[in-house]
Amino acid sequence: MASVVITGHSLTLQQVVEVARHGGLVDMDGQVRQRLAATRAGLERRLAAGEAIYGVNTGFGRLADVRIPDDDLGQLQLNLLRSHACGVGEPFSPDVVRAMLLLRANVLATGFAGVRPEVVDALLALLNAGVHPVVPSVGSVGASGDLAPLAHLALVLVGEGEATYRGERLAAEEALRRAGLAALKLAPKEGLALINGTQAMCAVAALALADAERLLEAADVVAALSVDALQGTDTAFLEEIHAARPHPGQRASARTLWKLLQGSELREAHRECPQVQDAYSLRCTPQVHGAARDAATHLHSRLEIEFNAATDNPMVLADDRVVSGGNFHGAGVAAAFDYLAVALTAVASISERRSARLVTPEQSGLPPFLVEASGLNSGFMMAQVTAAALVSECKTLAHPASVDSIPTSAGREDHVSMGTWAARKLARVVEYLRIVLGIELLLAAQGIDLRRPLRSSPVLEQVHAAFRRTVPRLERDRALYPDIAAAAKWVGGLSNLVADVAQATGEVRAPGRS
């Protein structure tokens, strides 16, 4: 397991995935501890001077004008966590919760929240011990950040709420006891510092993006198999075409498709055929896949800025000033979540169109629904219908959430980002895309089988052979839901397979994120 040291300014998407999904351990840089102690001392000087500071010795939101007695400041922070833990719905998965813990710790490590180093220590202790707060997925409007999800996360630190530990859902107090951890006693401002920010939406989106980047690599490989099975041409992927319209993602996708198809007997067998142009779903693949690659690159950069940004309110500055602002508002990333969801929906849509061509004999030149003795057998008829259903759902999910807003907190919080819903919709689109590409892979592999004895390119033949070790050829009707599930799971690792093949054969450079 890789170890990650948080500094407040250097966390990457790769590190988030390592910690969230592979159990990576996390520590805090020594300079961060000094930074936190310094800003905490500045905040305490302000409090000792009797200054009114929002959320520290005042109420919250509409209650910001209510002054809280000094003796009640710790209780104020505990009450905040309790009152804001209003989430509903299915809990976030453990990997999302782990990402939330890491991101919240790193944001506090920037030093603008005014918390003691012990607060970051407590978050990292939960993470490293595998104590995962139960965080309902619904209830955030994305400003003042992810208040409800982060309140559920923070409650476990103080021994309240629920957590899972070694696969068992427990009261937080018991989970901490079993892990050998002590509950944290909050000091002034620390409850507020734990819940202001975008860490729930960013955790969901980060893991969705990591999956999307792999699927976009796989999408080119699946499309190349379809092009060969449909006897399409590689001419549309020539470098000269795409150099004339040099969007980075488009050029990367076209380059991959071109190299994957070189050496194909299927291509050579119809090089002199009278067909002038392929359908858009074949020859426009780099344009559609490339647009999604560029959207993923954009979100990647936005997220890595947000991972290392101070999203607290109020912020404690280096000169001890305590100032209110709006860095907790999710607009900076919410629009990018929507952008990628739209672009990935187009990838799913063009994939389904290639699948539809594969099962249509007038367009493919293959047996109806890709099965011999069709009529008696329905073959992949309904597999394409499933892909169509998923694409239709993606189109609805692609409606942007970030253009919506609804006022909350008695009108004080009168414009919100809906970023958490945008992230959750993005994650759903990514999952549906995985299945749609898996269905296309099923159909394309069957199409390659039906073109025998002609063979595809050496690289694509190795991909085909590896897939056939997971899902056998369809000779006659069988229940296809296990095949679809297996193909959807397999396609997520397809880019790694092509990388291995490329290294072994030198036939093609492995596709990579643009």
DSSP labels for 403-451? T----BGGGTB-----HHHHHHHHHHHHHHHHHHHHHHHHHHHHHHHHT
Determine the Cα–Cα distance for residues 390 and 386; give it in Å rounded to an integer.
6
pLDDT tens string 364-407: 999 999 999 899 999 999 999 999 999 999 999 999 999 999 99
- Beta strand 136-138 pairing with 131-133: unpaired
- What is the residue type of 88? V
Q: Annotated active-site positions, please?
A: 54
Domain limits, CATH 1.10.275.10, in the chain: 3-197
Residues 6 or more apart whose CB falls under 8 angstroms from that of 49 comprise: none
Please report, as a single letter, which amino acid is at residue 287.
Answer: Q
DSSP 183: P
382 within 8 A of 370, measured Cβ to Cβ: no
Give, in words, the CATH class of 205-407+414-505: mainly alpha
Residue 455's pLDDT band (cuts 50, 70, 90): very high
Report the percentage of the chain scoring pLDDT > 70.
96
The CA distances from residue 135 to 69, 94, 155, 200, in Å, are 31, 9, 10, 9
Which residues make Cβ contacts (< 8 Å) with residue 296, sequence separation at least 6? 209, 212, 213, 216, 249, 340, 343, 513, 514
Name the pLDDT band for 510 (thresholds 50, 70, 90).
very low
Q: Tell me if residue 28 falls in helix, strand or coil.
A: strand
- C-alpha 52/C-alpha 314 separation (Å) is 12
Give the 3-state secondary structure of residue 120.
Answer: helix
Instruction: Supply the pTM of this predicted model.
Output: 0.95
Average per-residue pLDDT for the chain = 94
pLDDT at residue number 60: 81
Query: Can you give the pLDDT at residue 216?
Result: 96
Label residue 511 by pLDDT band (50, 70, 90): very low
H/E stretch holding 397 reads helix 381-397
Mean pLDDT in residue range 419-448 = 98
C-alpha distances in Å from residue 16, one per residue of 25, 67, 245, 359, 424? 11, 39, 34, 41, 17
Q: At what angle do helices 285-307 and 13-22 cross, to 10 degrees?
A: 80
The pLDDT of residue 513: 42
Place of tokens 């507020």: 192
Whether the CB-CB separation of 169 and 143 falls below 8 Å is answered with no
Average of per-residue pLDDT across 84-90: 97
The model's pLDDT over 222-273, given as tens digits with 9 standing for 90+, comes to: 999 999 999 999 999 999 999 999 999 999 999 999 999 999 999 888 776 6
Summarised one tens digit per residue, pLDDT across range 322-363 is 888 999 999 999 999 999 999 999 999 999 999 999 999 999
148 pLDDT tier (thresholds 50, 70, 90)? very high
- pLDDT tens profile 98-146: 999 999 999 999 999 999 999 999 999 999 999 999 999 999 999 888 9
Beta-ladder partners of 377 = 374
Proportion of the chain in helix, strand, coil states, percent, rounded to 5: 60, 5, 35
Please, what's the b/e burial string for 473-493 (b: 16 or more CB within 10 A of its CB; e: otherwise)?
Answer: ebeebeebeebbeebbebbee
Q: Which of 85, 289, 122 is nearest to 200 (CA)?
A: 85
Statement: residue 418 has pLDDT above 70: yes
Which pLDDT does position 319 carry in this prediction? 87
pLDDT score of 1: 57
Take residue 433 and report the two structure tokens written for it. Answer: 């895309």
Residue 512: its pLDDT value, please?
Answer: 41
Task: State the burial class of residue 505 (Cβ atoms within 10 Å of its Cβ: 0-12, 13-18, 19+).
Answer: exposed
The residues, any chain, with a CB within 8 Å of residue 31's CB and separated by 6 or more, are 7
Which amino acid is present at 259?
A: K
- How far is residue 439's CA from residue 387's CA, in Å, rounded to a whole number? 7
Contact yes or no for 308/8 (Cβ under 8 A): yes
Q: What is the pLDDT of residues 299-320, one digit of tens each?
A: 999 999 999 999 998 899 988 8
pLDDT at 34: 94
Q: Provide CATH code, domain 3-197.
A: 1.10.275.10
Do residues 78 and 158 lie in contact, with contact meaning Cβ atoms separated by under 8 Å? Answer: yes
- Region(s) of the chain under CATH 1.20.200.10: 205-407+414-505
